[in-house]
Amino acid sequence: MTLNTFIFYFFSALAVISALLMITRRNVVHSAIFLITALLATAGIFLQLRAEFLFAVQIILYVGGIMVLFLFVIMLVNLDVAVRQAAFNRQAWLAILMAGAMMGTVALAVWLGRASVHLPPVKAGALEPNTELVGEALFQNFMLPFEIASVLLLVAMIGAVVMSKKRI
Amino acid sequence: MIDLLIRFFAPHLVPLIIVLVVVLVLPLLAGYVVLLERKVMADIQARLGPMRVGPHGLLQPIADAVKLLLKEDIIPENADRFLFWIAPLISVTAAMVAFAGLTFAPGKYEFFGHLNTVAVADLNIGILFIVAVSSMGIFGIVLGGWASNSHYSLLGALRSSAQMVSYETAAGMALISGLLLAGSLSTRAIVEKQAAEGVWYVFFAPLAFFIYMVASIAETNRAPFDLPEAESELVAGYMTEFSGFRWALYFLAEYCNMIVVAGIATTVFLGGWLRPFEGTREADFLDLAPTVIFLGFAGYCLWRVPRQFEKIHKIVLSIFAGLCFVIAAALALPVTVQPAWKPVLHGVFWFLAKVVAYLYAFMWFRFTFPRYRFDQLMRLGWQWMIPVSIVHVMMLGLALVLQRPPQQGGLGWAWWQGMLVSTGGTLLVAAWLGALGERRTQRIAESGV
Amino acid sequence: MVPTEHYLALSFVLFTIGVIGVLTRRNVIIILMSIELILNAVNINLVAFSRHLGDVGGQVFAIFIITDAAAEAAVGLGIIIAFFRNRSTILADEMDLLKW
């Protein structure tokens, strides 16, 4: 087993364990930390897939931006009494059952239909140099979604500011 | 079994060794940077600084480290123990991992069947990686302030992280100006491009360097932006409840951040491992400068040896002088006898020299300027630095297009004309923004709110 | 060279955990965090296929998803803050003003 596959299994295990811990912690800050480790593990998997620009973007935006925002809001709304309240809602068991059934159906469908999927063989090295290719694609083929994404971010910024104001 | 392990690790042995060296040497180096800061502070304040512990205070960092390791580890009563334990670790880890993106000297060397650069790794996304990992350091501060279960800590942590997030954007934009000139994110490629053009990028984009310098001072919570950890304002901010080794880790993280940020500025703007006037033959006498500097250190140490009062001081100073002699000899060898070693040894020397100069500027600013109030700080970051850096990127793009030869659609201007356009245009916009801010301040003052 | 099916399996598992998190937790912030986990699972899927097919569009789409996740997290957290100011609760069970 090469270092490459070992890295994949290591980060996958880290991601799954962090995700499981995240949805089961009672303390919200601990949950946020486990989500951070899950996101870092995902970034590691991106790096192992040779998507290095996405690796850096994931860490800068998701971990360094979104999770900091989450932590700020958690600190703003954290109630000490939350520690003694129930963590799971009344329909938890039914929800797990339904989620299991739904995802089981998806897995069954994929497994039964696996013969009909004809994927071409992997093209090694088709995505080098990664950053340049992503940059070219963003500014040539995907220019319109790029601009729309910037407008979306502007709208989201204004929305978040307006909603958090005490008096509009 | 053993050969399996060797085959598993062999391609990565040199990076592992460099990582070990960095992790072991960095705390010592950061300790001596602290001593340097105390000496510089003393010099600016017309006094001498630490003089007792070793000769001229040279053993002070070791004494401080021993003291911090032996202090009692106090955890506040209702503190979150898991977060209290992990917060300094995140800060230190983020600060140290950021070193993996820096390249210290040119050339690729063959070891164990793999080509290695004088770095932990030759990343294609070097600068982006360092920015990403530095943004992880914010968590150490936020979680540390939260875990302390104390008002001062939480306020200090929130202020500090808000400040770091605000100036991260401005620093990134200033770096983008340098990256526009370099055309690559790899730290090795950026310096090689500066070597090819023969001019450091600080002369192409001085305003970007200035913005990056100010933003990096705010990023590392140094004065004049150190309100979150100012002694007179918030006790010690987020570090209040951490004692002994945990506080040492936070302190280490702060100084490692300073060194990393200085490393980035050196790589992108100050020409990395390049000697001043690298291309010109006439300036080759500068190759002797490293040797002369270290011989000067050694001579000064030997001169002061007889004036020390205690025997241990004389011994330590002589050892230090001996070390300086050895380094001077090692730096002189490539110039005279073994030119093959010149790129690595002299490259590392010039890189560290520029980093030390940048850090000296940090310390100089700390003891010269008064502290910014927090709202002034945030206003400066969001309403002045970010617009100015974005405008600078646009102006630099314009200048680069104008510098293209006419076949490719440009006007074929020289580099200094492009530099004048970009800097001048940005300064105009910056002055306009400053005037807007003045009018706003005046309006608020007049309305009597 | 890890087969692409392994990445898809990982994405599936993370997606399931995210869905369970959304459906079972009371704290609205943890529900939002589970949604972020779902988006990340989709990202892994996209990038795995991008590597398999040699098309950089998968990674570009993943970048857009990250951008959208940022916007959605900001707005969602703004809503949570506004709601908390009014009702002093962040438990989904107690947000039942519109129930009969």
CA–CA separation, B175 and B170 (whole Å): 9
Note whether A63 and A134 are same-domain residues.
Answer: no
Structural domain contains residue C55: yes
pLDDT at B170: 92
Q: What is the pLDDT of residues C67-98, one digit of tens each?
A: 999 999 999 999 999 888 888 888 888 888 88
pLDDT at B338: 67
Residue A83 has pLDDT above 70, yes or no: no
CA–CA separation, A131 and B183 (whole Å): 11
The CATH number of the domain holding residue C42 is 1.10.287.3510
pLDDT at B235: 63
**Interface residue ranges in chain B relative to chain A, Cβ cutoff 8 Å:** 8, 12, 80, 82-83, 86, 123-125, 128-129, 131-133, 135-136, 138-139, 142-143, 146, 154, 158, 161, 165, 168, 185
Structural domain contains residue C7: no
Of residues C34 and B329, which shows the higher confidence score? C34
pLDDT at B15: 83
Of residues B31 and B4, which shows the higher confidence score? B31
- Reported as a pLDDT band with limits 50, 70 and 90, residue B412 is confident
Residues of A within 8 A of C32 (CB-CB) are 70
Residue B76 has pLDDT above 90, yes or no: no
Q: What is the pLDDT of residues B200-221, one digit of tens each?
A: 999 888 999 999 999 999 998 8
- Reported as a pLDDT band with limits 50, 70 and 90, residue A80 is low
Predicted TM-score of the model (pTM): 0.91
Structural domain contains residue A96: no
Mutate to test the interface with B, among A7, A28, A35, A52 (most CBs of B within 10 A): A52
Considering its fold, how many domains does chain A have in total?
Answer: 2
Structural domain contains residue A33: yes
Mutate to test the interface with B, among A63, A133, A157 (most CBs of B within 10 A): A63
Structural domain contains residue C9: no
B292-330 burial, b for 16+ CB within 10 Å, e for fewer?
ebbbebbeebbebbeebeeeebbebbeebbeebbebbee
Three-state DSSP class for residue B58: coil
**Residue B103, strand partner residues:** B119
A160–C33 C-beta distance less than 8 A = no
A122–C52 C-beta distance less than 8 A = yes
Q: What is the pLDDT of residues B142-196, one digit of tens each?
A: 998 888 877 777 888 888 888 998 899 999 999 999 899 998 899 999 999 999 8
Q: What is the domain extent for residue A167?
A: 128-168
pLDDT at B230: 67
Range in A133-137, B229-233, B289-293 with the lowest mean pLDDT: B229-233
- Reported as a pLDDT band with limits 50, 70 and 90, residue B231 is low
Residue in the block written with tokens 């992880």:
B136
Note whether A69 and A3 are same-domain residues.
Answer: yes
Domain edges within chain B: 372-449
Q: What is the pLDDT of residues C8-65, one digit of tens each?
A: 999 999 999 999 999 999 999 999 999 999 999 999 999 999 999 888 999 999 999 9
Interchain CB contact of A90 with C (< 8 Å): yes
Q: What is the domain extent for residue C81?
A: 26-90
Considering its fold, how many domains does chain C have in total?
Answer: 1
- Which range, A15-19, B43-47, B68-72, B322-326, has the best average confidence (pLDDT)? A15-19
pLDDT at B449: 58
Residues of B within 8 A of A129 (CB-CB) are 124
CA–CA separation, C77 and A160 (whole Å): 8
- Residue B224: asked if its preceding bond is cis (omega within 30°), the reply is yes
Structural domain contains residue A89: no
Quote the percentage of chain B above a pLDDT of 70.
97
Min Cα distance A129 → chain B (Å) is 8
Closest residue in A to B154 (Cα–Cα): A75
Residues of B within 8 A of A161 (CB-CB) are none
Of residues A91 and B149, which shows the higher confidence score? A91
Last residue of one domain, picked from the residues A82, A113, A146: A82
Contact B372, B224 (CB under 8 A): yes
